[in-house]
Amino acid sequence: MAAGLFAFFIALFASLFLTVPVRALALRVGMVDLPGPRKVHLQPIPLLGGLAMYAGVVLGVLFLFNGPAREQIEGILAGATLIAAVGILDDRG
């Protein structure tokens, strides 16, 4: 229980601390959702916020699992990373 709680806080704080740099990266490389007639926002909105959350979750999960389960979770995370990469490429579109 304590390890799971610690992993949660690792994921939480990693996500919190990574959000600002990832936002700056999104603004710098132009990965923003621009305002338009069918949109509510009036300023460009950065699109890479999910990347910070994903990185936090990965750090928390990697901390939590050791031993044989670690190999399985690394395979799952490899697939999840591929999906995240496709999402980032889609946001570029």
Q: What are the residue ranges spanned by the domains of the chain?
A: 2-92
What confidence tier does 93 reach under pLDDT thresholds 50, 70, 90?
Answer: low
Could you tell me if 77 and 58 are in contact, meaning their C-beta atoms sit under 8 angstroms apart? Answer: yes
Q: What is the pLDDT of residues 57-82, one digit of tens each?
A: 999 999 988 888 888 999 999 999 99
List C-alpha distances in Å: 90 to 21, 27, 69, 87: 20, 16, 31, 5
* Three-class secondary structure of residue 32 per DSSP: strand
Residue positions counted in the chain: 93
Token pair 């050791």 is at which residue? 66
The per-residue pLDDT of the chain, averaged, comes to 92
Residue 3: predicted pLDDT: 84
| Residue 22: burial class (beta carbons within 10 Å; 0-12, 13-18, 19+) | buried
Residue 69: predicted pLDDT: 87
Query: The pTM is what?
Result: 0.84
Q: Which helix (H) or strand (E) holds 61?
A: helix 49-64
Percent of the chain with pLDDT over 70: 99
